[in-house]
Amino acid sequence: MSAPSLPLVLVIEDEIQFRRLLRLTLEAVGYEVNEAANGQLGLNETAVRPPQGIIVDLGLPDIDGKEVIRRIREWSQVPMLVLTVRDGEDEKIAALDAGADDYLTKPFSGRELLARLRAILRRTQTAVGSPVVRFGDVEVDLAARVVRRAGSELRLTAKEHDLLRYLAVHAGRVVTHRQILRELWGVNAEESPQYLWVYMTHLRQKLEPNPREPRYLMTDAGVGYRLIAD
């Protein structure tokens, strides 16, 4: 019986030294790595040899990284982690809105890269496999539409449940304020983040061990929210 194949990660990055560093970091913990030196090659490799995850730089020489993400999202839900030297909130939000799952600003540590990659790969496994998302002593049963804490069913308002469900479906991924508002309140609410502040406060009070120092319902300042699942 053959051994299971290792996860394949495609690195779309034009700087050869940085590609080598990423390859060494990923292969050291068991990932298989494929490389593409520009956006068009990245699109081709994604189609010809579909990876389980993609790491993509925004500053590519031929096609902007955000456009690469948009094109891949037209036909694939493969997890994508963005690398960028652009640390402005607008750039991060634009990459996430284009379809990226998470982002890292250069420079960053290898440990953080691996942790972010594991998180977005785990999100995909959850979406395809188990309908239950767990964090701390909380279980979100997506199929039964039930939330339990320490084994007891928790009563949430309809909108609190919708928000938690959206975060759970995208666990490990940063979802922008605009994405959540559009999904839960409609396009006319995209510029009204006060809705989110109120409901996130309520969810943290009901789900976090210490609502003032959340461990699971995390804020990415100026960008959006992220659910850290087990």
**3 has a pLDDT exceeding 90:** no
Residue 70, domain member (yes or no): yes
Whether 163 maps to a domain, the answer reads yes
Is residue 185 a part of any domain in this protein?
Answer: yes
Domain ends where: 82, 111, 127?
127
Q: Looking at the structure, do residues 117 and 12 belong to the same domain, yes or no?
A: yes
Print the domain residue range for 92. Answer: 8-127
Tokens at 151, concatenated: 């084994």
Whether residue 110 is found in the same domain as residue 38: yes
99 in the same domain as 153:
no
Are residues 146 and 218 both part of a single domain?
A: yes
pLDDT, residue 189, reads 72
Whether residues 48 and 138 fall in one domain = no
Asked whether residue 12 is domain-assigned, the answer is yes
Query: How many domains are contained in the chain?
Result: 2
Helix extents (H) in the chain:
16-27, 39-48, 65-73, 89-98, 110-128, 158-169, 177-185, 194-207
Domain boundary among 127, 142, 164: 127
* Chain mean position to CA 88: 18
Report the distance separating Cα 120 and Cα 118, nearest Å.
6
Residues 82 and 110 in one domain: yes
Of 127, 159, 185, the residue that ends a domain is 127
* Residue 27 belongs to some domain of the structure: yes
pLDDT tens digits along 150-194: 999 999 999 999 999 999 888 888 889 888 988 888 877 777 778
Taking the C-alpha atoms of residue 48 and residue 212, their distance in angstroms, rounded to an integer, is: 47
Q: Is pLDDT of 90 > 60?
A: yes
Question: Do residue 39 and residue 73 come from a single domain?
Answer: yes
Q: Same structural domain for residues 202 and 221? A: yes
Q: In what helix (H) or strand (E) does residue 82 lie, and over which residues does it extend?
A: strand 80-84
Residue 2 lies in a domain: no
Q: What is the pLDDT of residues 131-149, one digit of tens each?
A: 788 999 999 988 778 999 9
123 shares a domain with 14: yes
